């Protein structure tokens, strides 16, 4: 029997207790050297209350050198694999701990490790315990000073949190830099970077006139790819002042781009460590999507300075307090700077696809979880994206002015402290005067609520009624559900597409209805004709909507809805109906058929000259197969694939000659990162895909031409993606050319790896395995793994779920290898294996066998153990 006693140690939110000791300040001294780095940590420790309990400090993968208390060597301690326990401490003392650690051998990329030739850190959630023995929990806020010493030639830049207060040269070619952070912070926000970089420099003058130095550190030779990140940072600083009244508080703000990083980026105070994917960009190497991603993530980490750093989490169960709120803020930033409609559509795609799947899977949890085994497993779409939707609902319910009043009250009460989700909602309630009692259930209830809406209309009295029923299906963690407070945004249209005002008995009614009960009826009068309702506009709540729209009503909304999201959503519902019907037909051995109404509605979108090409591209892009799977109780992967392909082809045939004319009209000369041009490139890529479905031979020539003439990565990749997804004759030659051109640039080559993993053909697994022997690929690099294996396992539905189980075996073999190298990345990649509940019985059996193989590992990491055991318990 495998011993998982450590893995089984679950922590419960209800068990939170204040720490037995406080640490008021921490002075760190790092001697960076090979093979072991030495860390001296001097803590000022203070007992919390009257007791004589043990001080239990967290520590992992450390060699303890010495411990002293108030300058006197201490031999009376207990050392375990993950704790240093000290007894009989005075009420206050200075604790000095010296440890050695192996940064170069740290493949988990937590704590202090090497990324290429540079030292860097990642301490969220519990990585600081790999640096020194400490109270590694977010409610311990201390003032840090950090002295770093290293070889000057190899590591000319020595960076840490706060402001630089001292530096100098030492004997033996070494030098030191001293940093001081004036703001108390938890250990997860500590950062250190040492290396040799190129530096992009700028400055920003805050609204109160303070000058802030801005520095972005990139690998040598990449300086020409740092400019857009700097521009995004300045825009984020300005926006946070204008929209939220929040100003930066240190003399310097630094960003470092590293290649080996488990996450997207990290908001360490004043020194953000970034995955290079979210910093480096120029037209030759980055797509429009990459530029959007950089702008969003740069802003996200900057916004954390207040929503995460100045006010932090009391415990890790409160993670959405900082992440959900900051995702909402970065979404608003992107929407204010770009297209609000298109940004909303892309955010909702993530929620309706992978987040809804997470809600329905074995790892279902509320945005504020109640129990965790491995904290890294709760950096989820539920905590981040659904968490942002919960904040957005608050904003919808309260309005901008009351929401901002709530934000100001939240900072006033909690600046410099570790807070909870309840503290945030209380500030919103107190500032607005709104009762948010039932709304709080969003924080404690898991799963995706479903709204079933019916209506009736009395033409004689002009009364229209909406009957709304809410129901949240049971989840693995919570069988019983309660009604929620759901903001339900609607609009009514007459047959000409004019808006019918919402009113009852002479009183105007706002567009946002408060759904509070399990069943509710909303009554409107003076409705002159039976209306067409636009429901759940802007996705005003993260719910599944059930309303029996006719195809004609959806086509009407695609054309007439004032809200951009509502037009896209109507198109999605029209396609969903066709997919649902098509799968039934395919299962009965029939052909897929599309109605004239659907075809005409989509042709009208392509023809609408005044429509923003970016919105047009979104409407004409069919939902992905994983998102379509959410429509079914039992998922028929092969049928969904066939039906989606058939719909794509039928639409292409309906568009006909318009496609070539549209494609030609979208050609641009010269590349600019501006919305109008990005919109045209997005639509051109969608149209090229339809052309490939209509006429493969003609598309092959167009793809070759676009690839050859492209002066930017967006057009290059759009051509490659069409060649890949339609298996055009040019595919092999173009992919080989791209690989040859970018073989030395891992970040760009990730695009090639993604294409290899997404190949819609039975031999894809052979190509994936070949790509793993590419010189640029490394199993130790999370970006390479996510690009190749993530693309295959998460986005290549038919081939990953091959009936012979080869995809499952391949992924499990890889997870076994990663278990001892980087369990955090393994835990992210396992997702498609644990979400098997709605697959057919044969595939379920194959997956269960692979999960059982994982469960039988003698040293299964906590990250994987938690997910495997929950999946097998389904």
DSSP-derived 3-state class of residue 803: coil
Find out whether 269 and 185 touch, Cβ atoms under 8 Å: yes
CB-based contacts of 370: which residues, under 8 Å, 6+ apart? 12, 13, 14, 317, 444, 477
CA 549 – CA 564 distance, rounded (Å):
18
Determine the 3-state secondary structure of 113 from DSSP.
strand
- Measured CA to CA, the distance from residue 395 to residue 538 in angstroms comes to 13
| Look-up of token digits 């797509």 | 287
Classify residue 162 as left (phi > 0), alpha (psi -120 to 50) or beta. left
- Pick the closest to residue 435 from 443, 423, 425, 420 (CA basis): 425
Question: What is residue 670's DSSP assignment?
Answer: S
Give phi and psi for 315, each to the nearest 5: -150, 170
Q: What b/e string do you get for 155-190 counting C-beta neighbours within 10 Å, with b at 16 or more? A: bebbbbbbebeeeeeeeeebbbbbbbbebbbbbbbb
Measured between alpha carbons, how far is 113 from 104 in angstroms, rounded to an integer?
Answer: 6
Residue 358 a catalytic site member = no
For 461, 466, 502, 520, 729, the CA distances from 506, given in Å and listed in that order, are: 14, 18, 10, 21, 66
* Runs of H (alpha helix) within 656-759: 658-665, 675-694, 696-709, 713-725, 731-742, 746-758
List all residues 6 or more positions away from 342 whose beta carbon is below 8 Å from its beta carbon: 564, 612, 614, 615, 618
CA 381 to the chain's CA centroid: 6
Round to whole Å and give the CA distance between 650 and 742. Answer: 37
Burial status of residue 460 (CB atoms within 10 A of its CB: 0-12, 13-18, 19 or more): exposed
Q: Give the side-chain half-sphere CA count within 13 A for 787.
A: 23
CB-count exposure of residue 759 (10 Å: 0-12, 13-18, 19+): buried
Q: If DSSP codes are grouped into helix, strand and coil, which group holds residue 189?
A: helix
| Residues 112 and 101: beta-carbon distance below 8 Å | yes
Q: Coil, strand, or helix at residue 478?
A: strand
Tell me how far apart the alpha carbons of residues 581 and 283 are, in angstroms, rounded to a whole number. Answer: 43
Can you tell me the distance from the alpha carbon of 614 to that of 617, in angstroms, rounded to the nearest whole number? 5
Q: How many CB atoms lie within 10 A of CB 89?
A: 19
The candidate with the shortest Cα–Cα distance to 367, out of 310, 307, 327, is 327
Residue 44 DSSP SS3:
strand
- What the block records as the tokens of 409 is 């009250």
Residues near 451 by beta carbon (within 8 Å), at least 6 away in sequence? 468, 469, 470, 486, 488, 515, 536, 541, 543, 544, 545, 546
From the candidates 301, 389, 630, 739, give the one annotated as an active-site residue. 301
Are 639 and 586 in contact by the 8 Å Cβ rule? The answer is yes
Whole-number Å distance between alpha carbons of 463 and 459: 7
CB 135 within 8 A of CB 21: yes
Q: How many other β-carbons are positioned within 10 Å of the β-carbon of residue 842?
A: 10
CA 465 to chain CA centroid, nearest Å: 39
Give the ranges where 95-204 is alpha helix by DSSP (H). Answer: none
Q: Which residues are catalytic?
A: 301
């Amino acid at each position: 029997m495998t011993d998982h006693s450590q893995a089984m140690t679950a922590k419960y939110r209800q068990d939170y207790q204040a720490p037995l000791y406080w640490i008021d300040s921490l002075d760190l001294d790092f001697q960076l050297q090979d093979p072991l780095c030495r860390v001296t940590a001097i803590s000022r420790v203070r007992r919390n209350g009257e007791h004589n309990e043990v001080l239990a400090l967290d520590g992992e993968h450390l060699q303890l050198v010495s411990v002293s208390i108030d300058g006197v060597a201490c031999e009376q301690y207990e050392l375990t694999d993950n704790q240093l326990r000290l007894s009989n401490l005075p009420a206050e003392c200075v604790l000095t701990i010296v440890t050695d650690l192996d940064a170069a051998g740290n493949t988990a990329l937590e704590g202090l490790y090497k990324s290429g030739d540079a030292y860097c850190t990642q301490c969220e959630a519990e990585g600081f315990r790999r640096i020194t023995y400490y109270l590694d929990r977010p409610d311990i806020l201390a003032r840090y000073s950090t002295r770093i010493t290293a070889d000057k030639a190899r590591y000319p830049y020595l960076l840490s949190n706060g402001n630089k207060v001292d530096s100098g040269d030492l004997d033996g070619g070494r030098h030191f830099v001293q940093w001081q952070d004036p703001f108390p912070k938890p250990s997860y926000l500590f950062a250190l970077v040492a290396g040799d970089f190129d530096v992009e420099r700028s400055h920003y003058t805050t609204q109160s006139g303070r000058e802030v130095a801005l520095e972005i550190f990139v690998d040598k030779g990449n300086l020409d790819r740092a400019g857009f990140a700097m521009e995004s940072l300045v825009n984020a600083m300005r926006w946070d002042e204008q929209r939220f009244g929040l100003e930066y508080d240190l003399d310097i703000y630094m960003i470092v781009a590293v290649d080996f990083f488990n996450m997207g980026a990290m908001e360490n105070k004043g020194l953000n460590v970034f995955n290079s994917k979210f910093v480096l960009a120029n037209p030759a190497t980055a797509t429009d999507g990459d530029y959007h991603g950089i702008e969003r993530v740069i802003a996200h980490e900057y916004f954390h300075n207040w929503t995460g750093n100045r006010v932090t989490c009391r415990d890790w169960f409160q993670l959405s307090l900082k992440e959900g709120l900051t995702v909402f803020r970065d979404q608003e930033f992107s929407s204010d700077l770009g297209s609000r409609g298109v940004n909303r559509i892309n955010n909702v795609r993530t929620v309706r696809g992978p987040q809804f799947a997470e809600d329905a899977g074995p790892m279902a949890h509320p945005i504020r979880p109640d129990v965790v085994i491995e904290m890294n497993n709760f950096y989820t779409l539920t905590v981040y994206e659904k968490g942002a939707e919960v904040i957005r609902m608050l904003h919808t319910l309260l309005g901008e002015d009351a929401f901002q009043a709530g934000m100001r009250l939240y900072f006033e009460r909690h600046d410099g402290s570790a807070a909870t989700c309840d503290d945030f909602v209380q500030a919103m309630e107190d500032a607005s005067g709104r009762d948010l009692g039932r709304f709080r259930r969003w924080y404690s209830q898991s799963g995706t609520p479903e709204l079933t809406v019916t209506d009736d209309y009395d033409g004689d009295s002009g009364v229209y009624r909406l009957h709304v029923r809410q129901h949240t299906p049971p989840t693995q963690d919570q069988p019983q559900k309660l009604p929620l407070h759901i903001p339900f945004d609607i609009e009514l249209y007459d047959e000409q597409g004019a808006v019918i005002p919402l009113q009852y008995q002479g009183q105007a009614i706002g567009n946002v209805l408060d759904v509070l009960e399990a069943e509710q009826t909303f009554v409107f009068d003076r409705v002159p004709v039976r209306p067409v309702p636009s429901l759940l506009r802007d996705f005003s709540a993260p719910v599944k909507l059930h309303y029996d729209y006719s195809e004609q009503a959806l086509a009407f909304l695609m054309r007439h809805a004032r809200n951009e999201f509502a037009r896209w959503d109507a198109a999605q519902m029209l396609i969903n109906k066709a997919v649902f019907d098509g799968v039934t037909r395919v299962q009965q051995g029939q052909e897929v058929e599309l109605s004239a109404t659907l075809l005409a509605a989509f042709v009208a979108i392509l023809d609408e000259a005044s429509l923003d090409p970016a919105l047009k591209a979104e409407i004409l892009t069919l939902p992905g197969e994983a998102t379509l799977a959410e429509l079914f109780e039992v998922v028929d992967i092969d049928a969904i694939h066939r039906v989606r392909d058939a719909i794509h082809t039928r639409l292409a045939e309906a568009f006909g000659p318009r496609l070539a004319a549209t494609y030609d009209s979208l050609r641009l000369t010269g590349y600019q990162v501006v919305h109008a041009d990005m919109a045209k490139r997005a639509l051109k890529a969608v149209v090229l895909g339809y052309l490939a479905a209509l006429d493969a031979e003609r598309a092959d020539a167009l793809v070759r031409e676009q690839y050859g003439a492209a002066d930017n990565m967006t057009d290059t990749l759009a051509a490659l993606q069409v060649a890949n997804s339609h298996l055009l004759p040019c595919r092999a030659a173009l992919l080989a050319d791209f690989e040859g051109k970018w073989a030395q640039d891992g970040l760009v080559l990730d695009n090639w790896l993604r294409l290899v993993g997404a190949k819609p053909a039975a031999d894809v697994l052979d190509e994936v395995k070949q790509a793993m022997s590419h010189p640029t690929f490394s199993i130790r690099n999370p970006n390479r793994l996510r690009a190749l294996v993530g693309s295959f396992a998460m986005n290549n539905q038919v081939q990953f779920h091959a009936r012979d189980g080869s995809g499952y075996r391949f992924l499990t073999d890889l997870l076994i290898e990663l278990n001892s190298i980087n369990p955090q990345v393994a835990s992210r990649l396992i997702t498609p294996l644990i979400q098997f509940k709605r697959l057919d019985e044969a595939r379920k059996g194959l997956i269960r066998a692979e999960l059982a193989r994982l469960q039988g590992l003698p040293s299964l990491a906590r990250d994987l153990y938690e997910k495997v055991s929950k999946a097998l318990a389904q």
